């Protein structure tokens, strides 16, 4: 990567995949600013039909998009195909959400006046995308924002720019004006410049809590701009009185190791009852030992690909070693499977005796096991985090789940389901360091337009009945 170019490399092979010159932030924002009013003035049905054409374009290029995602992220091709499908599914879900959550309403006002509630777009919105779902997650911001009538300047992650570029090509091929969806190729410097640009009306962000907190501080002086933060999690998974140990183990493995642990909803902490945990841990380790780690197009298909790059792999290995140095007991080691490539084995470590467990999001295939004496302690441990994205309980009776649901602090709370895999037809977001109360998915419509209330009459009628001097006294 140079100052003038962004170069994307395939994590699985190290080969160069894509390169393009760094874009001009001012120019891209200016183009979007120039075109957004015309787009916003179109009837919403016209905008919706344009997005439905986008679905047809993506469908015609679905395998190309999946291959691009797989090569650029390293995730298995089967998983990349599910992401391509999610991009298409997002449109009808977003149309339904717009009609439900930002619909026009007519109400009765005083003295026969009419009252109307309508919604307006913000204007030009910046979208900063992550590398783990480089098509689906930014698309989850862009589609509802376009339906609402906004123009977009989209900067994909510098680690997955080719996927972002292909996504923008699909918008344009569907007839969405090029001036309305702009691609900004760049690195962190361009991201900061875009986020702080005076001519954007808001920022829709998916990424790390560290960056999100910095953005929150930056936007403190601009309350007129919308800021939607979708950040990560140090997500707890409690297994308690599980009747089916193999099923519980499968849910644990899915929660912790899908996408090589590179999901914001991945389980980071497995909380179990001390003394009754051995069968579950043995089953989880046995299943993790069988997981195939390989390149995206391998046969048989791998469960996990590499993490995004060697730098991330190095950091994860250092974090695992740090947990060991603090008293963690490895159950399954984190191994570097190929010396110069970011392929990591799924890892499990018992951190019960670690006095000060780091409250961080280890964005990779590392699962910490924490043993507790009773369910009260399990709840305390589950909430022992500044994050609050996803949490799950496996096992127990309905009364136990009711207790779990009432006491856990998270935006996604599941029972006998993995922590990840949240549906797009429901709100998605967290509390604490996981978000700023701007849930996405079905609720993205809420931050893509703002409500306007109007009281209306066909003819002006008004008198002032009190507080006036008598005409004869004037």
Cβ of 409: how many Cβ atoms within 10 Å? 17
Cβ of 55: how many Cβ atoms within 10 Å? 18
**Per-position pLDDT tens, the chain of length 474:** 446 999 999 999 999 999 999 999 999 999 999 999 999 999 999 999 999 999 999 999 999 999 999 999 999 999 999 999 999 999 999 999 999 999 888 877 666 678 899 999 999 999 999 999 999 999 999 999 999 999 999 999 999 999 999 999 999 999 999 999 999 999 999 999 999 999 999 999 999 999 999 999 999 999 999 999 999 999 999 999 999 999 999 999 999 999 999 999 999 999 999 999 999 999 999 999 999 999 999 999 999 999 999 999 999 999 999 999 999 999 999 999 999 999 999 999 999 999 989 999 999 999 999 999 999 999 999 999 999 999 999 999 999 999 999 999 999 999 999 999 888 899 999 999 999 999 999 999 999 999 999 988 888 888 898 999 988 765
Which domains does the chain possess? 5-231+435-456 (3.40.605.10), 235-415 (3.40.309.10)
Burial class (CB in 10 A: 0-12, 13-18, 19+), 188: exposed
d(CA 390, CA 439): 13
The alpha-carbon radius of gyration of the chain (Å, integer) is 25
Quote the pTM value: 0.95
Tokens of 22: 């760094």
At 347, give phi and psi (nearest 5°): -125, 145
Tokens of 444: 């993205």
Alpha helices in 326-423 (DSSP H): 375-382, 398-407
Tokens of 23: 């874009």
Q: Which of 158, 230, 361, 381 is catalytic?
A: 230
d(CA 195, CA 231): 16
DSSP-assigned states of every residue in 80-98: HHHHHHHHHHHHHHHHHHH
Q: Active site includes 68?
A: no
d(CA 413, CA 403): 12
Cα-based distances in Å from 68 to 166, 227, 296: 8, 30, 11
The position carrying tokens 């998605």 is 428
Q: Active site includes 230?
A: yes
Alpha helices in 184-332 (DSSP H): 188-195, 209-218, 245-257, 278-290, 310-325
Tokens of 15: 């080969």
Q: Which of 264, 361, 381, 448 is catalytic?
A: 264
């Amino acid at each position: 990567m140079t100052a003038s170019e962004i170069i994307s490399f395939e994590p699985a092979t190290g080969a160069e995949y894509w390169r393009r010159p760094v874009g001009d932030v001012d120019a891209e924002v200016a183009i979007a600013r120039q075109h957004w009013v015309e787009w916003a003035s179109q009837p919403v049905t016209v905008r919706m039909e344009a997005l439905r054409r986008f679905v047809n374009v993506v469908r015609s290029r679905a395998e190309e998009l999946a291959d691009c995602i797989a090569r650029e992220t390293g995730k298995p091709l089967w998983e990349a195909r599910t992401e391509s499908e999610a991009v298409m599914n997002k449109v009808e879900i977003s149309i339904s959400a717009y009609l439900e959550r930002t619909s026009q309403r007519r109400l009765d006002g005083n003295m026969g006046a009419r009252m109307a509630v309508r919604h307006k777009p913000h204007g030009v919105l910046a979208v900063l995308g992550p590398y783990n779902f480089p098509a689906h997650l930014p698309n989850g911001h862009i589609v509802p924002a376009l339906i609402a009538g906004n123009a977009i300047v989209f900067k994909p992650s510098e680690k997955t720019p080719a996927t972002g570029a292909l996504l923008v090509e699909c918008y344009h091929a569907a007839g969405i004006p090029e001036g309305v969806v702009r691609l900004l190729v760049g690195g962190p410097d361009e991201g900061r410049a875009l986020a702080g640009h005076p001519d954007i009306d808001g920022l829709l962000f998916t990424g790390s809590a560290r960056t999100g907190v910095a953005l929150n501080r930056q936007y403190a002086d601009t309350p007129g701009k919308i800021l939607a933060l979708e950040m990560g999690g140090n997500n707890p998974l409690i297994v308690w009185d599980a009747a089916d140990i193999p099923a519980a183990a499968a849910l644990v493995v899915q929660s912790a190791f899908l996408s090589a642990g590179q999901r914001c909803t991945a389980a980071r902490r497995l909380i179990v009852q001390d003394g009754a945990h051995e069968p579950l841990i043995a089953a989880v380790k046995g299943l993790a030992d069988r997981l195939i780690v390989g390149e995206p197009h391998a046969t048989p298909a791998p469960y996990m690909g590499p993490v995004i790059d060697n730098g991330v792999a190095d950091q994860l290995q250092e974090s695992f070693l740090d947990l060991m140095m603090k008293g963690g007991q490895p159950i399954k080691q984190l191994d570097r499977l190929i010396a110069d490539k970011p392929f990591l084995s799924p890892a499990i470590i018992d951190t019960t005796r670690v006095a000060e467990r780091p409250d961080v999001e280890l964005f990779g295939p590392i699962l910490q096991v924490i043993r507790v004496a009773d369910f009260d302690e399990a709840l305390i441990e589950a909430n022992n985090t500044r994050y609050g994205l996803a949490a799950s309980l496996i096992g127990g009776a309905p009364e136990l789940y009711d207790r779990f649901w009432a006491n856990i602090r998270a935006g996604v709370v599941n029972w006998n389901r993995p922590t990840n895999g949240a549906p797009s037809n429901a709100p998605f977001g967290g509390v604490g360091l996981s978000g700023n109360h701007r849930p996405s998915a079905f609720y993205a419509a809420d931050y893509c337009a703002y409500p306007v209330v109007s009281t209306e009459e066909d003819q002006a009628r008004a008198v002032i009945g009190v507080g006036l001097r008598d005409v004869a006294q004037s």
